Amino acid sequence: MSTVAIISGYYGIDQYISLNHINKNFTSYFVTNNLTAAKKAEKLGWIVCFDDEAPVSDDKYLSTMQGKKVKALPNEFIDLSQYDYNLWVDDKIKISDKMLINRELPRLKLNNNKSSLRTHWKSVNAPTVWRELVLSLEQPRYKEFFDKYVAYINKKVSEGYSDSGKMTACGVILRNNRDNDVKQMFSEWYEEIISSGLANDQVSFFFIRQKYNHLISEMLFPVNYSQIYMKKLIDFKNFIAKKHFY
């Protein structure tokens, strides 16, 4: 039987802490540099790994960049040697852990892939990295770096990458914890994040995915029971509307 660890984290000041869920079925680790977040995570049953080498800052860009390493390279913060797989979840995302892992792990193995991520739902009709850039402009912390994103994208295209392709939602990542190719892929992703200095890691992963697409399996939506309910409700309303009007 495969063993799985769940990992999440938070860097920054108290104001933006949003962790509010408990993972009951799997061992869960929470990495943070914030004492309040650490205490909250501990009360919710997470095993806390406190990063006292990263000073707390009220600069959202700096805090965001501080949290990139644990997302891309959790093994450098936590001893994950006893686990076959790990599941990263952004602290603002609520998952139904047992449902998600029991669904996605067999699909990952069946597809002979090493990592599972979702295609970004807002880019389905416009599969291009420029779509992600447009969406980024909705957030001030990305908007101020607009010129830097444009320069980065143009640089990657000049290196032979395409600006068209699947845009990935990187908030939930299931990966094989023992595969060297997977470790290389996420190591390169972290290097790309740091070298580019871009806080929106989905832009850099867009190009990483082109190189390592053979290692990636499509993660299904939804990721929690609330989303299952909403999806069924929407499907039912669409069925009724179609039956009535067509």
Q: What is the pTM of this model?
A: 0.90
At 197-227, the pLDDT tens digits run 999 999 999 999 999 999 999 999 888 867 6
At 140-188, the pLDDT tens digits run 777 788 899 999 999 999 999 999 998 999 999 999 999 999 999 999 9
- pLDDT bin (cut points 50, 70, 90) of residue 23 is confident
CATH number of this structure's domain 4-122+166-245, picked from the four choices 3.40.1710, 3.40.50, 1.10.10, 3.90.550: 3.90.550
User: For residue 76, what pLDDT is reported?
Assistant: 97
Instruction: Write down the domain spans for the chain.
Output: 4-122+166-245
- Which three-class secondary structure state does DSSP give residue 8? strand
Q: Which helix (H) or strand (E) holds 156?
A: helix 146-158
CA atoms of 47 and 66, how far apart (whole Å): 20
Distances (CA, A) of 60 to 6, 9, 55, 57: 25, 15, 13, 7
CA atoms of 192 and 182, how far apart (whole Å): 15
User: For residue 54, what pLDDT is reported?
Assistant: 97
User: For residue 222, what pLDDT is reported?
Assistant: 87
| Greatest distance between any 2 Cα atoms in the chain | 62
